[in-house]
Copies of this chain bind each other. A is one copy, B any other.
Amino acid sequence: MNRTLVSDVKNHIGEEIKLQGWVYQIRPLGKIKFLILRDRTGIVQTIILNKEIDISNVERESVVTIYGKPKLEKQAPNGVEVEVLKIDLMEKAQSPLPFEVNRATELTNVKIDSILDHRPFSLRNPELSSIFRVQAEIVRSFADFLRQDGFLQMHTSKIISAGTEGGTNLFPIQYFEQTAYLAQSPQFYKQMMVGAGYERVFEVGFVYRAEDHATSRHINEYLSLDFEMGFIESEQDVINEEIRLLQYVFEQIRKNCAEELKTHNVQLPDIKAIPQIKLGDAIKIIRDNFNKKIETENDLDPEGERLICEYSKKEFDSDFVYITYYPASGRPFYTMPDGTGLTRGFDLLYKGLEVTTGSQRINNFQMLIDNMVKFGLKPENFEFYLEIFRYGMPPHGGLAIGAERLTQQILNLKNIREASLFPRDRYRLTP
């Protein structure tokens, strides 16, 4: 007998079916017992009327096979109830459980560290498991949109040789006799692949930052959604590509994750135009409107990001805002200068948090060499990256989106760790 999934039970009213899953709840009601079964597609109420069916040995979260007959029942969740004919205990769960997973209210009392210590078990809770369904939909729709737009998916090495990006915040690897490092980003590779002739490439992959700080917005291994595109006119082509991309991603999430959004009480708006504010103007706006001074001219601090988003929400009714024209001194050497000391680099902020960094890049070989020297870097250390610039590199630009941050902001999660299956931070290496 084939298994019927919970989501399909309503199509088998009156038939005998086989269900398999985990015991989510058991509720005795006098002589009758209710057993709520959970599988990957949802939960269904089953009812045990036959006194000879003994479930005294069936602990919550045990794996069971239930043979039964579904009937319509207005008072049951989703209007369906399955009368149990037979129940087989496949794997008994130990008790007590690490914590309760069958009540949303209960879970809010479970601290983030306890959730992460028991990560797989915690995902038995539908609210927590739904986070990664949304994340998977972000990744899928990101890739599908770009493919439709002529981008090629690539997979570039995460093991890099010494000193490629300046050498700070790198995790060293013992690579046979040599010391290598975990890649901080696929930046060089994606540019090289534009120059290789693919023109448009994207990558979904982990990147690594050996940053010491422990905040609710940083993890040391994160999923970077990168794209890079050739034959652009300016960074505005990159920004426009991202706006269309995010419109698609949001539309797909609304369509395919309606249940998950409901679970998190989130309404995802249409993305219309996204305002752009030059960094210099943003700093003035923050000072004038919020009476707060940004200490540096190079970037916004976390509170600055929060405030300029507050402003953008009030002025433009937009959860998103691009900050543009960062000074050259605050951006990497490969960022295209605008000729006035500023650059064609930009960040995208979303509900108070930076979720994207991007720019037009320098594509002329000599200009790139000169800029490296200006930044105190030795071009001879970067030959593997520079070579393709010798042989015809088109104008290009790109960006990177942090997948966990985007998930976090879409679902209004307090801590980025909630949006990472197995986060790695300053102190956490397990599970």
Q: Are A39 and B199 in contact (CB under 8 A)?
A: yes
Chain A residues engaging chain B, CB cutoff 8 angstroms: 3, 20, 22-23, 38-41, 61-63, 90-94, 97-98, 118-124, 129, 132-133, 135-136, 139-140, 143, 147, 150, 152-161, 171-176, 178, 180, 182, 189, 192-193, 195-200, 204-206, 208, 210, 212, 221, 223, 231, 363-365, 384-385, 387-388, 390-395, 403, 421-424, 426, 429-431
Contact of A92 among B39, B124, B182, B392 (CB under 8 A): B392
Q: Would A97 and B422 count as touching, CB distance under 8 A?
A: no
Q: Is the CB of B91 within 8 A of A393?
A: yes
Minimum C-beta distance from A379 to chain B (A): 15
Cβ-closest chain B residue relative to A40? B199
Bound complex: CA of A364 vs CA of B63, how far in Å?
A: 11
A421-B155 CB under 8 A given contacts A172-B173, A174-B172: yes
Name A422's contact: one of B156, B391, B421 (CB within 8 Å).
Answer: B156
Can you list 11 pairs linking A and B with CB atoms under 8 Å apart?
Answer: A22-B197, A40-B150, A63-B393, A92-B392, A98-B391, A118-B387, A119-B196, A129-B197, A136-B153, A158-B158, A175-B424
- Contact call B430/A384, Cβ cutoff below 8 A: yes
Provide the residues of chain B in CB contact with A20, threshold 8 Å: 231, 394
Q: Which residues of B contact A158 (CB under 8 A)?
A: 158, 206, 221
For A426, what are the chain B residues with a Cβ–Cβ distance below 8 Å? 176
CA distance A153 to B363 in the complex (A): 35
Complex CA distance for A292 and B169, rounded to whole angstroms: 54
How many copies of this chain does the complex contain? 2
Distance of A430 Cα from B159 Cα, bound (Å): 9
A129 & B196 in contact (Cβ 8 Å cutoff): yes
- The answer to whether B206 touches A22 (Cβ under 8 A) is no
In angstroms, Cα B183 to Cα A422, docked, is 13
Given known contacts A195-B120, A231-B3, A392-B92, A40 and B200 CB-to-CB distance under 8 angstroms: yes
CB distance from A101 to the nearest CB of B (A): 9
Q: Which residues of B contact A364 (CB under 8 A)?
A: 91
The CA-CA distance from A212 to B176 in the complex, in Å, is 8
The residue of chain B having its C-beta at the shortest distance from the C-beta of A157 within the complex is B422
In the complex, what residues of B have CB within 8 A of residue A90's CB? 394-395
What is the CA–CA distance of A91 and B154 in the complex, to the nearest angstrom? 25
Having A40-B200, A90-B394, A140-B143, one finds 13 other A-B pairs with CB under 8 Å, namely A38-B197, A91-B365, A92-B392, A97-B391, A118-B387, A120-B195, A120-B388, A139-B155, A157-B206, A157-B423, A180-B429, A192-B431, A384-B431
Closest to A158 in B: B206
Instruction: List chain B residues, Cβ under 8 A from A424.
Output: 157, 159, 175
Residues of B within 8 A of A365 (CB): 91, 94
- Given A159-B221, A171-B173, A394–B63 Cβ distance below 8 Å? yes
| Contact indicator A429/B197 (Cβ below 8 Å) | no
A195, B121: Cα distance in complex, Å: 8
Docked complex Cα distance between A419 and B38 (Å): 42
B422 touching A61, Cβ below 8 Å: no
CB distance from A382 to the nearest CB of B (A): 10
> By the criterion CB–CB under 8 Å, are A159 and B429 in contact?
yes
Give A377 Cβ to nearest chain B Cβ, in Å.
16
| A145, B364: Cα distance in complex, Å | 42
Task: Check A422–B132 contact: CB distance below 8 A.
Answer: no
Determine the distance from Cα of A150 to Cα of B133 in the docked complex, in whole angstroms. 11
Measured in the bound complex, the distance between the Cα atoms of B170 and A292 in whole Å is 50
Q: How far is the CA of A62 from the CA of B92 in the complex (A)?
A: 68
The 6 closest A-B pairs by CB, nearest first: A384-B431, A123-B196, A40-B199, A120-B196, A120-B192, A93-B392
Determine whether the beta carbon of A392 is less than 8 Å from that of B61: yes
Contact for A431 among B150, B212, B385, CB less than 8 A: B385
Most buried by B among A39, A180, A197: A197
**A152: chain B residues within 8 A (beta carbon):** 132-133, 136
In the complex, A175→B3 CA distance in Å? 45
Cα distance, A93 to B221, chains bound together (Å): 38
Instruction: Report B-chain residues with C-beta under 8 Å of the C-beta of A384.
Output: 430-431
